[in-house]
């Protein structure tokens, strides 16, 4: 079975090619079913590989399948190879699993859209790229997938490209990602220069054996972190993610909640040995950026009115938690939170998609309310997701978030406090969202004349093909915590499973104050979550206190606007300056050479008088010169 | 005695040469040329090149200059040239540089190497009362002996020159021009 | 005075210097004069200067080859004059007011 791991990315690629050739012929819904079954088949293969890996011992869980020698150039030897080890299979499992659920959902969501087949074309291409990313044996295959998911993200965000805001959002995502990609490329150059190879095995081995200097390791880790900031939407490169909500909701669920944005976390975990031998300030920087992003995004989410934007900022915030984990040396916790986050965030996005679908594409939460009566299954699954993300036990989010905060406390209590505040805010704004959408009074008919609704507009429940994935994800959100329960070593399945990959870098906090008092911290986490829920309930349901949603928070602390103004103003002037320099100096130099030659030619042209006498004079001068030469040679020398 | 001859001949040569350069009327210039040629002929005689002196006078002064005069008269280019003006401003200074340069350098070369020049040949046989044709004899022995090939080639050259000139200066009739 | 005159005999060098001066005069003439025929005459001056130096050196070195060379130079000079004047005639025939500067078709 392990020899068939190439099937895992190949099946979505086959789906892509088939839809490319026959998409228009197949039409709706056959192209959607084809795409979903391809990803589903890939999931089945992944599960089979998973069980085969399980049957091996811990040391043997590392299988490389080389498809072909990609770049044999001098000393650089890069193969198109796939690596099946615990980390890559974990990633592949939830990419293909959640991917197939979302494909199924999209068949219902995109019903009636004229570009139905094209949507699944891009979706399959995306799953293929993501699988190349996670299953790559070396940095270059991962980078291939990295760029591929960025491109598909662009295609899918600007799917309804006739809408200008969608086209702009797609461009913004691509350009911002590109800034991060520079970091990945620099890291590849550094890695190759220091170790002579781009494969993870080679680089990590160099790090573990001490062949990699701390300086180089810090450089590689920091450069990859810059790439991760771009792809996983951390400060300062998060600005594309809220705008990416212009894409259809399945896109938001798959790409911007479950898979693409986790690529940064995956990459940092892959090179955990390198990060662990870097200078101490490197993980600290990662942790600080992560927790700062988490807090920042949480504050902004509190003031959003668009149902998807709340979830977008929530994603940024949760990704911040994952980077906090990485910075604290808690790679298992980061992966754990990534998996549980994939479950409940995809659930929440798909649920919001169901709401939007039922509300005939209305996305403003102020125009919703009391939807639990008319959309019961959606409401129920959404509530499960809400409880998971808020950190209420025994739902999945509680366990993973608590694990991260434990390690954060061991690194620095300040990080813990900021993380706790963010957790409080998370519970607060998610409760706000649930109340505004599903409870309270029905507000959808208040301004019905404005949105051109026909008189008695009534939201309706979504079709079964959309509800089934919601139910599955809800189930996973409930039991997902069982992967890594902190009680004792026997319950830590994920840690045992991931051990060969992260053992070198994982921090050991046994014996610290945090570890000894982890049950106290557990209780504190529960209390904080419940407090957040309670305060939000009081504000939005009972209306005991006024809602604090200042404009500055709604506008994202004017960070995005600030960048636009800076780039448009001084930034533009700088670029104009560079253009001027290029035109005047560089082009001027090149043109100047031409002008010089022209001038010289024009000057020399004057010598071509056409008159015999001037030519004779020239000959005479030559004779004199020769005579001087001979004279000097004969007499002086 | 030789000194007097030299001075006299040198004067003729230089006056004639300067006359050729400075006289604006081409006929005057031609006559100055004749003066120079006569001067050169005198020096030929003093240097024991009697035959060449005769040839100089007959061929150069007698034929070539006459040819010049024919062409001057034929083309009506007897109008005087305006020697005062010079369209190329740089030409006159250049000419002076070139002239002085050539003269000076050759003179310098000649003077510095005057001791190096050594006898190498059999010697020029000076004509005496008993043997007045010695120069012609010696010269003809050289021309028809050592340099006979050059002699033959030069005669071919003469033929070619004559034929070529006739062709060059032919006035072409319009009818035969089309057939070309 | 007569002793001085008798004492100074012209050596070969004097003749060679005279030839050099004549050559220089000829060069200047070629460069300065605009009438094609006068330019040609100046070229003849230069040729004569060369002949002069050949003959002087023939006497000095005692080699009759110098005079032979002059012989050939004169023949070739005659041929050259014939051809050259022919060319001048055919060019200048059409143009009144002969001026060598007018032939400037190669002007760049």
Report ipTM for this prediction: 0.88
Question: Which burial class, exposed, middle or buried, applies to A449 when counting CB atoms under 10 A from its CB (0-12, 13-18, 19+)?
Answer: exposed
A628 and B CB contact within 8 Å: yes
pLDDT at res. B69: 92
Q: Give all chains having 3 or more CB-to-CB distances under 8 Å with chain C.
A: A, B
Question: Considering chain C, what percentage of its residues have pLDDT values greater than 70?
Answer: 89
Question: Which residues of C lie closer than 8 Å to A, measured between beta carbons?
Answer: 27, 30-32, 34, 100-101, 103-108
- Report CA-CA distances (Å) from A333 to A342, A417, A492: 14, 18, 11
CATH topology of domain C10-96: Helix Hairpins (1.10.287)
What are the backbone dihedrals phi and psi of residue A261, each rounded to the nearest 5 degrees, phi first? -70, -15
What part of B 6-45 touches C (C-beta under 8 Å)? 6, 10, 13-14, 17-18, 20-21, 26, 29-30, 33, 36-37, 40, 43-44
At residue A369's C-alpha, the angle toward residues A255 and A545, to 5°, is 100
Report d(CA C53, CA B37) in Å as an integer. Answer: 14
Work out how many CB contacts closer than 8 A connect B with C. 238
pLDDT at res. C55: 95
Residues from chain B that touch A631, judged by Cβ atoms under 8 A, are 105, 108-109
Alpha-carbon distance B78 to nearest alpha carbon in chain A (angstroms)? 21
Backbone dihedral region for residue A329 (phi beyond 0: left; psi -120 to 50: alpha; all else: beta): left
Q: What is the CATH code for B1-82?
A: 1.20.120.1200
Per-residue pLDDT tens listing for chain B (180 residues): 889 999 999 999 999 999 999 998 889 999 999 999 999 999 999 998 999 999 999 999 999 999 999 988 887 765 666 777 777 778 888 899 999 999 999 999 888 887 777 777 777 777 777 778 888 999 999 999 989 999 999 999 999 999 999 988 887 776 655 544
Residue A66 belongs to what H/E stretch? strand A63-73
State whether B102 and A609 contact (CB < 8 Å): no
Positions of chain A with pLDDT lower than 50, given as ranges: 448-449, 452-455
pLDDT at res. A256: 76
pLDDT at res. B180: 45
The 3-state DSSP class for residue B83 equals coil
Q: Please give the structure tokens belonging to residue B94.
A: 């250049």
Q: Please give the structure tokens belonging to residue A536.
A: 């939000």
The 3-state DSSP class for residue B67 equals helix
Beta bridge partner(s), residue A66: A81
Cβ-Cβ contacts under 8 Å for B57 (sequence gap 6 or more):
B37, B38, B41
State whether B102 and A623 contact (CB < 8 Å): yes
B96 and A CB contact within 8 Å: no
- Report CA-CA distances (Å) from B89 to A511, B69, B81, C32: 102, 31, 17, 11
For the stretch A380-427, pLDDT in tens is 889 998 888 888 888 888 888 888 888 888 888 888 899 999 999 999
Question: Among all chains, which residue has been given the structure tokens 């805010």?
Answer: A425
Residue of C nearest to B147 (CA): C68
Residues from chain C that touch A605, judged by Cβ atoms under 8 A, are 108
Work out how many CB contacts closer than 8 A connect A with B. 41
What are the backbone dihedrals phi and psi of residue A632, each rounded to the nearest 5 degrees, phi first? -65, -40
What are the backbone dihedrals phi and psi of residue A468, each rounded to the nearest 5 degrees, phi first? -60, -50
Q: Where are the domains of chain C?
A: 10-96
By Cβ distance, the residue of A621, A630, A631 closest to B98 is A621
Q: Are B76 and C94 in contact (CB under 8 A)?
A: no
């Amino acid at each position: 079975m392990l020899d068939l791991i190439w099937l895992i990315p190949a099946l979505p690629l086959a789906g892509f090619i088939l839809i490319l050739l026959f998409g228009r012929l197949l039409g709706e819904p056959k192209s959607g079913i084809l795409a979903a079954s391809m990803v589903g088949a890939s999931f089945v293969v992944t599960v089979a590989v998973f069980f085969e890996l399980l049957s091996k011992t811990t040391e043997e869980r590392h299988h490389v399948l080389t498809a072909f020698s990609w770049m044999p150039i001098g000393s650089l030897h890069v193969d198109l190879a796939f690596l099946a080890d615990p980390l890559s299979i974990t990633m592949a499992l939830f990419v293909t699993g959640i991917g197939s659920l979302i494909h199924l959902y999209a068949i219902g969501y995109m019903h009636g859209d004229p570009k139905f087949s094209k949507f699944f074309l891009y979706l399959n291409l995306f799953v293929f790229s993501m699988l190349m990313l996670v299953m790559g044996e070396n940095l270059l295959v991962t980078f291939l997938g990295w760029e591929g998911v960025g491109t598909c993200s662009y295609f899918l965000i600007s799917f309804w490209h006739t809408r200008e805001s969608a086209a702009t959002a797609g461009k913004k995502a691509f350009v911002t990602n590109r800034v991060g990609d520079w970091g990945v490329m620099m890291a590849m150059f550094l890695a190759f220069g220091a170790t002579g190879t781009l494969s993870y095995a080679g680089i990590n081995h160099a790090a573990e054996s001490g062949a990699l200097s701390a300086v180089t390791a810090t450089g590689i880790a920091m450069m990859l972190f810059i790439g991760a900031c771009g792809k996983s939407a951390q400060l300062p490169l998060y600005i594309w993610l809220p705008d990416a909500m212009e894409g259809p909701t399945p896109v938001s669920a798959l790409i911007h909640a479950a898979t693409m944005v986790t690529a940064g976390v995956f990459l940092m975990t892959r090179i955990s040995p390198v990060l662990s031998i870097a200078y101490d300030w490197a993980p600290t920087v990662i942790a600080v950026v992560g927790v700062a992003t988490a807090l920042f995004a949480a504050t902004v989410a509190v003031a959003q009115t668009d149902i998807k934007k709340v979830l977008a900022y929530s994603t940024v915030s949760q990704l911040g938690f994952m980077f906090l984990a990485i910075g604290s040396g808690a790679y298992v916790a980061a992966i754990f939170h990534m998996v549980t986050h994939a479950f409940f965030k995809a659930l929440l996005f798909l649920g919001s998609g169901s709401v939007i679908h039922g509300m005939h594409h209305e996305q403003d939460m102020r125009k919703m309310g009391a939807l639990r009566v008319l959309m019961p299954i959606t409401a129920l699954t959404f509530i499960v997701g809400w409880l998971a993300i808020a950190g209420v036990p025994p739902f999945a989010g509680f366990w993973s978030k608590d694990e991260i905060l434990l390690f954060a406390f061991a690194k620095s209590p300040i990080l813990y406090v900021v993380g706790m505040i963010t957790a409080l805010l998370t519970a607060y704004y998610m409760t706000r969202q649930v109340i505004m959408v599903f409870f309270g009074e029905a507000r959808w008919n208040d301004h019905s004349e404005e949105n051109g609704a026909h008189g008695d507009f009534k939201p309706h429940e979504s079709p079964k093909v959309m509800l089934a994935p919601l139910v599955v994800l809800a189930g996973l959100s409930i039991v997902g915590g069982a992967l890594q329960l902190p009680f004792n070593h026997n319950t830590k399945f994920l840690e045992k499973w991931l051990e060969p990959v992260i053992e070198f870098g994982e921090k050991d906090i046994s014996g610290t104050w945090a570890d000894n008092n982890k049950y106290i911290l557990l209780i504190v986490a529960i209390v904080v979550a419940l407090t957040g829920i309670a305060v939000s309930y009081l504000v939005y349901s009972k209306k005991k206190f006024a809602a604090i949603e200042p404009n500055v928070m709604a506008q994202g602390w004017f960070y995005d606007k600030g960048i636009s103004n800076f780039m448009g103003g001084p930034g533009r002037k700088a670029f104009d300056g560079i253009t001027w320099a290029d035109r005047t100096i560089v082009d001027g130099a090149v043109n100047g050479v031409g002008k010089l030659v022209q001038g010289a030619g024009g000057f020399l042209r004057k010598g071509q008088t056409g008159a015999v006498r001037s030519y004779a004079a020239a000959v005479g001068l030559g004779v004199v010169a020769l005579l001087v030469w001979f004279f000097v040679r004969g007499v002086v020398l | 005695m030789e000194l007097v001859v030299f001075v006299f001949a040198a004067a003729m040569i230089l006056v004639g040469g300067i006359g050729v350069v400075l006289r604006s009327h081409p006929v005057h210039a031609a006559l100055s040329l004749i003066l120079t040629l006569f001067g050169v002929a005198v020096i030929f005689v003093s240097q024991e090149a009697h035959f060449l002196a005769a040839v100089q006078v007959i061929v150069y002064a007698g034929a070539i200059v006459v040819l010049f005069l024919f062409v001057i008269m034929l083309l009506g280019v007897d109008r005087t040239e305006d020697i005062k003006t010079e369209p190329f401003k740089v030409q006159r200074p250049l000419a002076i540089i070139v002239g002085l340069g050539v003269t000076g350098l050759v003179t310098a070369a000649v003077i510095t190497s005057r001791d190096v020049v050594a006898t190498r040949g059999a010697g020029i046989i000076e004509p005496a009362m008993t043997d007045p044709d010695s120069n012609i004899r010696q010269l003809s022995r050289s021309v028809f002996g050592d340099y006979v090939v050059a002699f033959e080639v030069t005669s071919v050259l003469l033929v070619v020159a004559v034929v070529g000139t006739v062709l060059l200066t032919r006035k072409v009739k319009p009818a035969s021009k089309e057939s070309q | 005075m007569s002793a001085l005159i008798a004492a100074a005999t012209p050596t070969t060098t004097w003749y060679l210097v005279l030839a050099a001066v004549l050559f220089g005069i000829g060069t200047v003439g070629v460069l300065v004069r605009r009438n094609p025929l006068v330019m040609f005459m100046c070229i003849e001056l230069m040729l004569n200067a060369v002949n002069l130096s050949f003959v002087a050196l023939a006497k000095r070195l005692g080699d009759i080859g110098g005079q032979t060379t002059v012989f050939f130079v004169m023949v070739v000079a005659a041929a050259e004059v014939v051809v050259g004047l022919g060319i001048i005639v055919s060019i200048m025939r059409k143009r009144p007011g002969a001026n060598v500067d007018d032939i400037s078709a190669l002007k760049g």
